[in-house]
């Protein structure tokens, strides 16, 4: 029994694509680029903490780290967090001992963080250290990435645009040094 050439080519392409897609998923984690303020606002917890080292995990598929919380930025009510968790997958973060700005989500009562969150060494931050205290008041605003065509949307009142340099939006590097805050009449705008 012979297989027609077009069927053989189709099967070959399907095999190639499935192998390629499986390798892409297995090789790494892809995070959408987000402004630090947006990550802050979308997180359940944001802390400055000293990672003391990895410890035995009581949660399957999660790595555990012993920490000492230095400052709690979000939520405002301070909780006594001593252990935080990260996924064992490629999206999990593997921080070394030291001080970090960390953000994450509460899952089954514990903080879980990963590569797509804030996992920044504290001593390498500059402007973000000053902006952290203002990020919370800007959470009523939406930070939106856009290109030239998508920046012309009509409902911009509650949005700060990032990705373009014009009168209403900032380039990404510029936006990293700014905070999106509500102004008069409820409109949001970048402030440096």
Domain coordinates in residue numbering, the chain: 43-124, 140-191
Q: How far apart are CA 52 and CA 7, in angstroms?
A: 58
Instruction: Decide: 87 and 114 in contact? Cβ < 8 Å.
Output: yes
Residues 165-177 pLDDT 10s: 665 677 778 888 8
147 alpha-carbon distance from chain centroid? 20
Domain 43-124 has CATH 2.40.50.120: yes
Residues 114-132, mean pLDDT to the nearest whole number = 90
Q: What is the torsional sign of CA 113, 115, 116, 119?
A: positive
Residues 17-72 pLDDT 10s: 333 333 333 346 888 888 999 999 999 999 999 999 999 999 999 999 999 999 99
Tell me whether the omega of the peptide bond preceding residue 75 falls within 30 degrees of 0, making it cis.
yes
CA atoms within 13 A on the CB side of 124: 8
pTM attached to this predicted model: 0.77
Compute the C-alpha angle 40/46/49, nearest 5°.
140
Provide CB contacts within 8 A for 185, sequence distance 6+: none
Instruction: Decide: 43 and 105 in contact? Cβ < 8 Å.
Output: yes
């Amino acid at each position: 029994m012979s297989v027609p050439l077009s069927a053989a080519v189709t099967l070959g392409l399907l095999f190639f694509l499935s192998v390629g897609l499986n390798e892409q998923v297995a090789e790494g984690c892809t995070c959408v680029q987000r402004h630090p303020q947006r990550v802050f606002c979308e997180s359940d917890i944001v802390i400055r903490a000293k990672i003391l080292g990895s410890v035995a995990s009581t949660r399957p598929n999660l790595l555990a780290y012993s920490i000492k919380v230095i400052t709690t930025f979000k939520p405002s009510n301070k909780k006594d967090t001593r252990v935080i968790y990260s996924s064992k997958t490629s999206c999990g973060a593997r921080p070394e001992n030291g001080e970090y700005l960390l953000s994450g989500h509460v899952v089954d009562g514990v903080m879980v963080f990963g590569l797509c969150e804030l996992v920044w060494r504290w001593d390498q931050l500059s402007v973000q250290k000053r902006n952290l205290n203002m990020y919370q008041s800007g959470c009523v605003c939406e930070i939106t990435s856009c290109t030239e065509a998508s920046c012309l949307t009509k409902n911009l009142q509650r949005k700060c645009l990032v990705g373009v340099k014009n009168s209403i939006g900032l380039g990404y590097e510029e936006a990293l040094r700014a905070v999106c805050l509500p102004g008069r009449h409820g409109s949001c705008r970048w402030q440096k």
